Amino acid sequence: MEKQKRFETQAIHSGYDSLKFQGSLVPPLYQTSTFTFPTAEEGELRFAGESDGYIYSRLGNPTVRVLEEKIAVLEQAEAALAFGSGMAAVSATLFYLTRSGDHILCSEGIYGCTFGLLQLLKEKHHISHDLIVFDNEDTIRKSIRDNTACIYIETPINPTMKLVDLEMVVKVAKEKKIPVIVDNTFCSPYLQQPIKLGCDYVIHSATKYISGHGDVIAGVVAGKKENLEEISKTTLKDIGGVISPMDAWLLIRGLKTLAVRLDRHCENAEKIAPLLKAHPQVTQVYFPGDEEFPQYELAKRQMKKPGGMISFELKGTKEDAQAFLDRCRLIKIAVSLGDAETLIQHPATMTHAVVPQKDRERMGITDTLLRLSVGLEAWEDIWDDLKHALDQNIKFT
Ligand SMILES: *Cc1c(COP(=O)(O)O)cnc(C)c1O
């Protein structure tokens, strides 16, 4: 029944039956660390896995369970797990899928802390990795080694917005029987559903669009039931990066408006991108909804809409880019994304400051590149703020 409903409806109703919770319209917040057993025998049965029922909130919590069931439905996955941060989700998944001596094949330009985790895995656990541009099947085939344990992808890639063709990657990965993990944070399940395209795991920093309100740090992983049960019993339970019931409750609330929020984020971005592109102080705009975007066709095929993230390049120097940021008023200088507030940041000195300069240059992260997370304000006000800050960059020499 549930699977037949549309995304917007599922985001509100799936994973929860009010009649099982005293008719409470909204899923109750089980703000409790532990659960009492009616008898010693029942406690024994629960620990033995022979009786359903909760034990202790690190092993499971009813509010968290509602969130996980919703995410599974929205990603069209068999199951999902929630975590205390996007990085807890990434690390639990990679720890589960790899062992010492393995290799991970990644898309170039992954999230900074994921990159940090790969370094740690290499130095402490002898798990190597390669960061490659997934531009055609042969490159992928040649980069897969006998010890490649998984393929890890972000698309669109932060902050250059380059896309990876997921169907192409899945085709090669299936030949070699290697699981594909996609960090779907930039899209949310509303815009892109990698599991439908054959990917095995989807990860989100739920901190971003899934929360949508800038008040939670959390993560989720969706995938096959069998695999997620294993993660739940090992790298979630024993490493312990669990989500708090309160944060799960806030995410359940955020999900109800995911589709309407994303529609507005995308609509606003589609208004702002061409205006930026036409401004004399802007030399480049990277936005998958731009018809001249090199992967425009792929974006249309793989994503429902182009998303709310725009990167753009300014004329001038690093100092000009920083001065431009300082002139923004409505738009706030901050990392993170997917909030109601429009946020802007300077990747070269902020999110990607840890990437060595020559790697940054190769990846197209220049000193004048800026990343804009288009918020939910009136687009005219967002544009007025950008225009005001841009116009003053013009030097009359
Ligand atoms: C923010 C982010 C993460 C990390 O998530 P946290 O919730 O901050 O731990 C991972 N991947 C992407 C693409 C992100 O934007």
Asked if 59 contacts 276 with a C-beta cutoff of 8 angstroms, the reply is no
Residues having CB closer than 6 A to ligand 1 are 85-87, 111, 113, 154, 158, 183, 185, 205, 207-208, 217, 219
- Look up residue 392 and give its amino acid: Q
pLDDT tens for 268-320 read 999 999 999 999 999 999 999 999 999 999 999 999 999 999 999 999 999 99
Average pLDDT, the chain: 96
Rounded to two decimals, the pTM is: 0.96
pLDDT of the residue at 392: 87
Q: Which residue's CA is the closest to the ligand 1 atom numbered 6?
A: 86
Compute, in angstroms, the gap from residue 206 CA to the centroid of ligand 1.
8
- Of 210, 149, 212, the closest CA to residue 184 belongs to 210
The string of DSSP codes covering 236-260 is ITTT--PPPHHHHHHHHHHHHTHHH
pLDDT for the residue 58: 97
Residue 201 known to be catalytic? no
d(CA 205, ligand 1 centre) in Å = 4
| 209 band by pLDDT with thresholds 50, 70 and 90 | very high
From 46, 70, 208, 360, active-site residue: 208
Angle at 203 between CA 35 and CA 227, to 5 degrees: 65
Q: Ligand 1 centre from 164 Cα, in Å?
A: 18
Does pLDDT of 102 surpass 80? yes
Please say if 183 is a catalytic residue: yes
Q: What residues does each domain of the chain span?
A: 7-30+61-256, 260-396
96 is catalytic: no
**Domain 7-30+61-256: assigned CATH number:** 3.40.640.10
Closest by alpha carbon to 385, among 268, 303, 288, 221? Answer: 268
With beta carbons less than 8 A apart as the criterion, state whether 176 and 146 touch: no
Q: What would the mean pLDDT of 214-229 be, rounded to a whole number?
A: 98
Q: Are 280 and 394 in contact (CB under 8 A)?
A: yes
Span 112-158, pLDDT tens digits: 899 999 999 999 999 999 999 999 999 999 999 999 999 999 999 99
How far is Cα 130 from Cα 143, in angstroms, rounded to an integer? 8
Domain 260-396 has what CATH class?
A: alpha beta
What distance in angstroms lies between residue 374's CA and the mean position of ligand 1's atoms? 17
For residue 337, the ligand 1 atom closest to its alpha carbon is: 15
Task: Report the share of the chain in percent with pLDDT over 90.
Answer: 94
Q: Tell me the residue type at 355.
A: V
pLDDT class of 394 with cuts at 50, 70, 90: low
Give the pLDDT band (50/70/90) at residue 363.
Answer: confident
* Confidence band, pLDDT 50/70/90 cuts, at residue 395: low
Catalytically annotated residue among 165, 183, 247, 367? 183
Residue 204 near residue 219 (C-beta atoms within 8 A): yes
Q: For ligand 1, atom 2, which residue shows the shortest CA distance?
A: 205
Report the separation in Å between the CA atom of 309 and the middle of ligand 1, taken as the mean of its atom positions.
14
Q: Whose CA is closest to atom 4 on ligand 1?
A: 86
Tens-place pLDDT, residues 2-60: 458 999 999 999 999 999 999 999 999 999 999 999 999 999 999 999 999 999 999 99
Nearest atom of ligand 1 to the alpha carbon of 88:
9
| Catalytic (active site) residue 111 | yes
